[in-house]
């Protein structure tokens, strides 16, 4: 009987997931003569016992497709599974034994889990219960530790930059301060890269709590110098000095329930009130998770997927594939979880941004 490989995609979707599914499946079939089983909707499918065979034909032609053909969920943690207690109340229960039993039913020798921080945490805990896991780091936030880049990030940056470029023209025509709020959760990679690539005049990231006075000064000083508009790229996780993140909503049945959002609107209103400059806000939101992956992400996804399949054949379980410089390496999943990879204040791109006159909303970094 052929060996079987199981694969799931969990957490928020992003461009490049299908490219990874394709790479894992084709490599498993071509190089290792294995069968592949796709678990539906991430860990939810493993909890509920939903999976299907993934054939070569199933993954042919999906390289450029956004989303995930397997579906995903960011609400299904087998160790903390939400249950409805009635009266609008939600409780949590450990269903990891049932999840493990379902994995055994599949008869796979490995589980390839494609996901971000939350998914990798769950994968690590399941590995502790004996599941042979290999992780592939995915997220537009680029916040997974031990890898220079996650796939999905470059595509999200490209989409955000396209948005910023378009907003630039209205900013110029109407002499406005335009706030563009981007995703990224608690780190500023997406805002920093999109801000630099989009020529943002002010970039606000969670790692550097901003001073509203400095943000206002930066916009006013540009105006005085004849640049009557400003582009402010603000990360959804940005916060004022001494303040806290702005929460858009709480998703009760999610294991990571806080959804950030709204800092752009609050700040725009404040800057308009203080400076008299007209301000507008655009929240790019889930646009950043949609569409076809960039060439960089297609390459990274293909390299990650093929290497994960190779590591599966070698039995290097409990590991995650990662990008270090130009090389694909593996690291223990345990090293990659637990802390988010944030932007170091002395990061080279921060220095470059400062050199071209970008403000980070503070006097001194
Ligand atoms: O982690 C990816 C991400 O898009 C974050 O940037 C964002 O904060 C969050 O997911 C949004 O989650 P949801 O799709 O549940 O609203």
What are 348-363's pLDDT values in tens digits?
Answer: 999 999 999 999 999 9
How many angstroms does the Cα of residue 42 sit away from the middle of ligand 1?
Answer: 16
How many angstroms does the Cα of residue 110 sit away from the middle of ligand 1?
Answer: 28
Residues 164, 76: one domain?
no
Ligand 1 site residues, Cβ closer than 6 angstroms: 12, 74, 116, 139-141, 183-185, 236, 259-260, 289
Residues 192, 273: one domain?
yes
Residue nearest to atom 3 of ligand 1 (CA): 12
Residue 363 lies inside a defined structural domain of this protein: no
Residue nearest to atom 11 of ligand 1 (CA): 259
Residue 365 lies inside a defined structural domain of this protein: no
Residues 103, 162: one domain?
no
pLDDT in tens, 30-87: 999 999 999 999 999 999 999 999 999 999 999 999 999 999 999 999 999 999 999 8
Residue 316 is part of a domain; what is its CATH number? 3.40.50.450
Residue 242 lies inside a defined structural domain of this protein: yes
Residue 27 lies inside a defined structural domain of this protein: yes
Residues 138, 226: one domain?
no
Residues 259, 306: one domain?
no
Residues 138, 163: one domain?
no
Ligand 1 atom closest to 260 (CA): 8
Residues 66, 104: one domain?
yes
Q: What is the 3-state secondary structure of the chain?
A: CCCEEEEEECCCCCCCHHHHHHHHHHHHHHHHCCEEEEECCCHHHHHHCCEEEECHHHHCCCCCCCCCCCCCCCCEECCEEEEEEECCEEEEECCHHHHHHHHHHHCCCEEEEEECHHHHHHHHHHHHCCCCEEEEEECCCCCCCCCCCCECHHHHHHHHHHHHHHHHHHHHHHCCEEEEEECCCCCCHHHHHHHHHCCCCEEECCCCCECHHHHHHHHHHHHHCCCCCEEEEEECCCCECCCCCCEEEECCCCCCCEEECCHHHHHHHHHHHHHCCCEEEEECHHHHHCCCCCHHHHHHHHHHHHHHHHHHHHCCCCEEEEEECCEEEEEEHHHHCCCCCCCCCCCHHHHHHHHCCCECCCCCC
Residue 92 lies inside a defined structural domain of this protein: yes
As annotated, the active-site residues are 141
Residues 273, 204: one domain?
yes
Question: Considering its fold, how many domains does the chain have in total?
Answer: 2
Ligand 1 atom closest to 237 (CA): 8
Residues 29, 88: one domain?
yes
For a substitution probing ligand 1, which of 183, 236, 260, 262 has the most ligand atoms within 8 Å of its CB?
183
Residue 24 lies inside a defined structural domain of this protein: yes
Residue 361 lies inside a defined structural domain of this protein: no
Residues 193, 283: one domain?
yes
Residues 42, 26: one domain?
yes
Ligand 1 atom closest to 254 (CA): 15
Residues 266, 167: one domain?
yes
Domain containing 300 equals: 4-151+291-336
**Sequential pLDDT tens for the chain (365 residues):** 899 999 999 999 999 999 999 999 999 999 999 999 999 999 999 999 999 999 999 999 999 999 999 999 999 999 999 999 998 888 999 999 999 999 999 999 999 999 999 999 999 999 999 999 999 999 999 999 999 999 999 999 999 999 999 999 999 999 999 999 999 999 999 999 999 999 999 999 999 999 999 999 999 999 999 999 999 999 999 999 999 999 999 998 887 899 999 999 999 999 999 999 999 999 999 999 999 999 999 999 999 999 999 999 999 999 999 999 999 999 999 999 989 999 999 999 999 999 999 999 999 98
């Amino acid at each position: 009987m052929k060996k079987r490989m199981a694969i799931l995609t969990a957490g928020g979707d992003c461009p490049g997931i299908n490219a990874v599914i394709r790479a894992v499946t084709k490599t498993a079939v071509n190089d290792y003569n294995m069968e592949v089983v796709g678990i539906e909707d991430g860990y939810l499918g493993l909890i509920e016992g939903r999976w299907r065979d993934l054939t070569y034909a199933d993954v042919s032609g999906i390289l450029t497709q956004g989303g995930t053909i397997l579906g995903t969920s960011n609400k299904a943690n087998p160790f903390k599974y939400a249950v409805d207690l009635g009266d609008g109340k939600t409780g949590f229960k450990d269903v990891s034994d049932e999840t493990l039993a379902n994995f055994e039913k599949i008869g796979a020798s490995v589980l390839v889990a494609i996901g971000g921080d939350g998914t990798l945490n769950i994968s690590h805990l399941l590995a502790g219960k004996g599941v042979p896991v290999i992780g592939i780091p995915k997220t537009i936030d680029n916040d997974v530790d031990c890898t220079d880049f996650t796939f999905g990030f470059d595509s999200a940056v490209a989409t955000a930059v396209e948005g910023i470029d378009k907003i630039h023209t209205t900013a110029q025509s109407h002499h406005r301060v335009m706030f563009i709020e981007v995703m990224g959760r608690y780190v500023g990679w997406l805002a920093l890269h999109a801000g630099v690539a989009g020529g943002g005049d002010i970039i606000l990231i969670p790692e550097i709590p901003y001073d509203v006075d400095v943000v206002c000064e930066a916009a006013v000083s540009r105006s005085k110098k004849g640049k009557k508009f400003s582009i402010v790229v603000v990360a959804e996780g940005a916060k004022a000095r001494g303040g806290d993140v702005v929460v858009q909503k709480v998703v009760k049945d999610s294991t990571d329930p806080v959804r950030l959002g709204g800092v752009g609107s609050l700040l725009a209103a404040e800057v308009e009130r203080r400076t008299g400059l007209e301000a507008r806000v655009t929240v790019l939101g889930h646009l950043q998770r949609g569409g076809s992956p960039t060439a960089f992400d297609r390459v990274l996804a293909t390299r990650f997927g093929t290497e994960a399949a190779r590591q599966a054949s070698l039995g290097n379980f409990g590991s995650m594939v990662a990008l270090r410089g130009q090389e694909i390496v593996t690291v223990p999943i345990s090293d990659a979880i637990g802390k988010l990879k944030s932007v170091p204040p002395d990061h080279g791109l921060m220095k470059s941004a400062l050199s071209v006159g970008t403000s980070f909303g503070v006097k001194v970094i």
